[in-house]
Amino acid sequence: TGVREETLPPELIDLATQKQALRKETPLNLSTFNIIFDYSLDKFIVTLNEPKDQSQKEFENWRSINYPALGSEFIIK
């Protein structure tokens, strides 16, 4: 048929896998922040609880440990 198989880079596979895994867990309500997935934007919406500076640090730490490939997939409010 003339179709050539193409392999995806590991970074793209990690991004897709992690995005799908987190999407299955939303809405996610933690003590310092909440996450929902907005299908129209294709992004995760993060709502930080007060104090926001501390919540931001905890979110970044949580994200880097659990979903390191999802750097630009979040909108923080």
* pLDDT of 2 strictly over 90: no
Q: Are 9 and 38 in contact (CB under 8 A)?
A: no
Tell me the whole-structure pTM to 2 decimals.
0.85
Distance of alpha carbon 67 from the chain centroid: 6
Q: What is the pLDDT of residues 8-53, one digit of tens each?
A: 888 899 999 999 999 999 999 999 999 999 999 999 999 999 999 9
Specify the pLDDT at position 3: 77
